[in-house]
Amino acid sequence: MQFTLAPEPEDEAREAGRLLFAGPVDFVKGVTAMAQLPPADRIEICFAGRSNVGKSSLINALTGRKNLARSSNTPGRTQEINYFALGDSRYMVDLPGYGYAEAPVAIVAKWQALLKQYLAGRSTLRRAFVLIDTRHGVKAVDDEILTLLDKSAVTFQVVMTKADKVNKATRDANIAQTIEALKKHPAAFPELVVTSSEKGEGIETLRALIAGLV
């Protein structure tokens, strides 16, 4: 499969994305067990990534709201599956960070298990957006989650974060490394989205992609 960078959206798709995220975006609930998930009455997209990859910052940039998702410099701060309603048609889901976290081992194990149960068992999940730090590329802990998504038959799309934090040579090299890593994952969608939450790069593209999922 040929992997490429996602193209700029057409005007109609760009506007659909803008309207979706300009509408109501409300925090629904944080859950710590599968039994607490809201009813599966609409499609869902989720954001997964290792601790401190920039999930909260990306969600805030997408929604244009500074504090919708809590951002922290402390890895492992998000210990719940956090649900947000995008209007009445979609759920946007912020998953707990995987990998290193400054929390007791037992707590880390509990929320990592919850993450895996969710990815394997949510029938309304249309796409998982897996965040990869442009400064580092795919690491072993990322590959574990990508393999889990393969086994769960969940289509996932990689979103490169913090693209403004590296020079062009490092950026290009780590994007290439990520593409090579994705070639062994059959559930991978063949377009990567390169983003910067601070600079706004890729935000309109990602909004359009989410709006286009049915």
Q: Could you tell me the CATH number of the domain that includes residue 173?
A: 3.40.50.300
Both tokens of 60, joined, read 């805030």
* pLDDT average, residue stretch 74-91: 79
From CA 45, how far away is CA 87, in angstroms rounded? Answer: 13
Range 166-172 average pLDDT: 97
Query: How many Cα neighbours within 13 Å face the side chain of 129?
Result: 26
Q: What's the structural domain count of the chain?
A: 1
Q: Which domain holds residue 178?
A: 4-212
Question: Distance between CA 116 and CA 112 in Å, rounded?
Answer: 6
- Answer yes or no: is pLDDT of 204 > 60: yes
Average pLDDT estimate for 66-93? 76
> pTM of the predicted model, to two decimals?
0.91
Structure confidence by residue, pLDDT tens digits, 129-165: 999 999 999 999 899 889 989 988 899 999 999 999 9
Residue whose C-alpha is closest to residue 130's, from 167, 99, 165 = 99
pLDDT tier for residue 70 given thresholds of 50, 70 and 90: low
Q: Give the mean model confidence (pLDDT) for residues 194-214.
A: 96
